Structures are given as C-alpha cells and as structure tokens.
C-alpha cells in the first residue's frame, strides 16, 4: 500500500480505490443495492419522486424507484459499455495498425488514409450519427462509439510497430525465412500489446462517458435498464424541483470520469517507474 502511494501519489491512489470500488459495486450489485428489484426496473409508484431520506438515501425517480439502487445497477451498464467499446476498438484498430506499420508502403497508405477519414469527423458527432443510423440499444451504442474510437488504436499500434519493425532481431528473423505472420505474432504483437493495453485500460473511463452522452441523447440503452446518462435525461423534466433525479447520476458520472482522468495522469507521471512498467 505504501509503495502504491509512493508510485501513484495520493490523488492517484484514491482514484484507483474509487475505480476498484466501482467494479466491486458493479459485480455485487444485487447484494449492495438496497432495493435490487427497483434497480432492475420494477416500479414502486407509491413512493414516486420522494426526496432523499433515511429510507431512500438518494431519493426516488418518477416511478418511485430508489435512485441509489438504480445508480448501482447503472455501474454494470456503464462499465460494460466502457470495456466493450475499448475491446471492439482494439479488435479493429490493432490489426489495422499492425498491418500498416509492419508492411508499410501502399498497404500503410491505404489503411492509414482510411483511418484518417474516421478521424476527420468530430468523435461525438460521428458517434451520434452512427447511433442514429443504427437505432438506439445497448449493442448499437457500443458499435457507434467504437467506430470513432478504433482509429486511435490503429495509430498507436502503427507507431509502436514502426519502431519494432527495424529491431535487429526482427530483421534477423525475416532473414532466417520466418514467415510474416509468425514474426508478427512472436516479435511484434507482444511488444505492441503492452502499451496498447495500458492505453485501453485508461480509455475505459472516457469511453464510458461517451456512451453515457449517447444515452443522455436517447441513443443508448433503453429503459427500464438503468443507465446514468439516460437517468440524467429523464430527470431533466423534474429539475430543479426534484434536483436529485438528475443530480445524483450526474454527480456519479462526474466522480467516475474524474477518477479515471486522475488515475491516467498519475500513471503517466508515476515516480520510480521502470522502462518495463511504462511500456
């Protein structure tokens, strides 16, 4: 623990703890949520729009569901969103970047110019366009965000490969007649994968934010599934009189986004880091 604080500093450590708690809460949602039924979406109209109290710590929404339970169930959606977006993006971006960097020449030109097309649009606008075209829904919103996300991984992977490609041991393997596929899997992928997975882990936060933005616009997960962005949106009608409806999920988004960003900064500036750890 002291070593962790030394490495990340206090803000980074706190951010890490917040994120770990979030994951724990997501996994244990049915046990930590005070009203698991309402968290899933069962209405409780008798208590609709109650203000925060000992019974409902964060108040209830327009169907009387406990906000705290909704937010806790929302962590599941948000985290899966973030992780899946990053995973999909890696799945597309990594092979594209590997091929472009490794083979170079016209393959590189073609792939990277194609990538540039996606980067030419503002990311959120493109995501909204995609989501609108595909229609709302859990998987569609993930695909929509991934489409704007993968070009960054393609670029990062390519830049890593450009360095590795000219390593003498890669040239030696090529000279010894080892096939391209095997060289990529053995020599290139493991060394590219590490910086890329670090980047991807840090991207879960921003990705989940973008997904929340989509669902705020009504292009994400559909009710009754709990989702932070969609809850902020639903609460707008009752704002500011029933301020907790929009504010509590909004504050949650803020805290989570802040935690990821602080952790990202801490990792970048980490003291006593080694070359291996930074890779």
In whole angstroms, the minimum distance from the beta carbon of 108 to another protein comes to: 13
Among the candidate windows 42-50, 179-187, 197-205, 256-264, which touches another protein by CB under 8 A?
Answer: 179-187
Burial 153-171 (b: 16+ CB within 10 A, else e): bbbbbbebbeebbeeeebe
- Alpha-carbon Rg for the chain, nearest whole angstrom, is 22
- The answer to whether the beta carbons of residues 260 and 204 sit under 8 Å apart is yes
Give helix 243-268 / helix 228-235 axis angle, nearest 10°. Answer: 140
| Cα-based distances in Å from 36 to 29, 65, 74, 145, 195 | 8, 10, 12, 29, 39
Does 103 bind another protein (CB under 8 A)? Our answer is no
By CB under 8 A, tell whether 187 contacts another protein: yes
Q: How far is CA 180 from the centre of its chain?
A: 32
Does 175 engage in binding with another protein (CB under 8 A)?
A: yes
Of 186, 218, 251, 258, the one binding another protein by CB under 8 A: 186
Retrieve residue 89's tokens.
Answer: 């993006």
Is 168 among the residues that bind another protein (CB under 8 A)? yes
To another protein, the closest distance from the beta carbon of 248 in angstroms equals 48
Q: Stretches 52-60, 95-103, 180-188, 263-271: which one binds another protein (CB under 8 A)? A: 180-188
* By CB under 8 A, residue 255 contacts another protein: no
Backbone angles phi, psi at 177, to 5 degrees: 85, 10
Interacting residue with another protein among 10, 133, 177, 274 (CB under 8 A): 177
Residue 172 CB, shortest distance to another protein, in Å, is 4
Token pair for 176: 């010894």
Interacting span for another protein (CB under 8 A) from 2-10, 115-123, 143-151, 168-176: 168-176
The CA-atom distances, in angstroms, between 100 and each of 45, 107, 116, 252, 268 are: 57, 6, 13, 40, 27
Determine which residue in the list 51, 53, 55, 179 makes contact with another protein, applying CB under 8 A.
179
Q: Rule CB under 8 A: is residue 254 a binding residue for another protein?
A: no
107 binds another protein (CB under 8 A): no
The footprint of another protein (CB under 8 A) covers: 167-169, 171-179, 182, 186-187, 190-191
């Amino acid at each position: 623990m002291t070593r962790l604080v030394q490495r990340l500093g206090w803000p980074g450590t706190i951010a890490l703890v917040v994120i770990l708690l979030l994951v724990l809460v997501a996994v244990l949602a049915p046990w930590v949520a005070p009203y698991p039924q309402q968290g899933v979406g069962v209405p409780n109209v008798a208590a609709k729009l109650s203000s925060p109290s000992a019974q409902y710590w964060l108040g209830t929404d327009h169907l009387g569901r406990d906000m705290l339970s909704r937010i806790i169930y929302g962590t599941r959606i948000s985290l899966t969103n973030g992780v899946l977006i990053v995973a999909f993006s890696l799945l597309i971006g990594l092979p594209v970047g590997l091929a472009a960097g490794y083979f170079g020449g016209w393959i590189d030109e073609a792939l990277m110019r194609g990538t540039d097309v996606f980067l030419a649009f503002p990311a959120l606008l493109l995501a909204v366009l995609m989501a609108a075209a595909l229609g709302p829904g859990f998987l569609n919103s993930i695909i929509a965000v991934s489409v704007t996300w993968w070009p960054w991984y393609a670029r990062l992977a390519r830049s890593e490969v450009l360095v590795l490609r000219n390593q003498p041991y890669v040239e030696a393997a090529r000279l010894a007649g080892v096939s391209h596929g095997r060289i990529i899997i053995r020599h290139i992928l493991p060394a590219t994968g590490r910086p890329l997975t670090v980047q991807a882990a840090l991207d879960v936060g921003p990705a989940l934010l973008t997904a929340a933005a989509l669902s705020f616009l009504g292009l994400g997960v559909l009710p009754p599934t709990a989702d932070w962005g969609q809850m902020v949106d639903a609460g707008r009608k009752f704002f500011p009189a029933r301020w907790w409806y929009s504010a509590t999920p909004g504050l949650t988004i803020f805290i989570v986004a802040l935690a990821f960003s602080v952790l990202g900064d801490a990792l970048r500036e980490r003291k006593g880091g080694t070359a291996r750890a930074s890779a």
